[in-house]
Amino acid sequence: MWIFQTHYQSVLILVADIWFIIEKNNVRIPKAKKDETKPVRIGKIVVWNSSRGFGWLECKGERLFVHLREFKGTEIVPAEGVEFPFLVGTDVHGRLCAKGVSASLVNGQVKFTGWLLLAALLFWPIAGMTKLPVAIYWPIMQMIILSAVVFRLYAHDKRQAIHHALRVPQTIMQLGELAGGWPGAFVAQRIFRHKSTNKSYQSIFWGIILIYQVIGADLFFDRKHSKEIWKSMGEFEIMEQIFK
């Protein structure tokens, strides 16, 4: 597994540098046609009447009316001082107001059950690391660093998606997960509510996790099953040299 991860390290470092430059220089793609998309803004509630279910938020010095129904489907509890993303729309009288407060635009959290699942998924990979011909802290540090890189890519891609700007290619994110950053992706998907409903992406993501489970378990049991596979392929001696 350690060898499997090192093949992608230089690629991931280069990718992180490229996307840092992109973000720093605020590179954008052309906007969609008028009325197809609306710019997302961040506002703060400055007045809220909980008994009547409405209030006013402030964004760049401008106050907009917002109703309780706009929070439907989110985990946000409206109150003074609360910030959230929103779209600018109009009410029945044609006045500007905050509209379209969507759960997909609001950050979530990793629930306790999510942390338990992540711990269970890390069991076999870490168990397999104990059988590698290197100190265990090296592959663990690699996984932590790559997870941080992938987490950052998710955060950047979610922000770019909200503002209809240049996106991170899915292949780059999946390479990061394959190289060992899948724990960071697991957390990012739940915090940013990003890629979690994309079925094709999720199938690849969980396939990567399955690979790590299989490789980790195989390493822990002294490569009992993989030895047979390498023997059948005629590569057994080569693999034995690698693991010495």
How far is the C-alpha of 78 from the C-alpha of 71, rounded, in Å? 8
Q: How confident is the model at residue 101 (pLDDT cuts 50, 70, 90)?
A: low
**CA 122 remoteness from chain centre:** 17
Which residues on adjacent β-strands are paired with residue 83?
44
- Given CA atoms 193, 194, 200, 202 in this order, what sign does their dihedral have? negative
Span 219-239, pLDDT tens digits: 888 776 666 655 555 555 555
How far is the C-alpha of 159 from the C-alpha of 192, rounded, in Å? 9
Q: How confident is the model at residue 34 (pLDDT cuts 50, 70, 90)?
A: very low
113-116 long-range contacts, CB within 8 A, separation 24+: 114/186, 114/190
For the chain, the first-to-last Cα distance in angstroms comes to 14
Span 180-209, pLDDT tens digits: 999 999 999 998 888 988 899 999 999 999
Span 104-150, pLDDT tens digits: 555 678 889 999 999 999 999 999 899 888 888 999 999 999 999 99
Please give the domain boundaries of the chain with CATH numbers for all domains: 2-29+108-242 (no CATH), 40-105 (2.40.50.140)
Tokens coding 201: 């992406």
pTM exceeding the 0.75 threshold for the entire prediction: no
- Residue partners of 102: CB distance under 8 A and separation at least 6: 73, 74, 85
Higher pLDDT, 64 or 235: 64
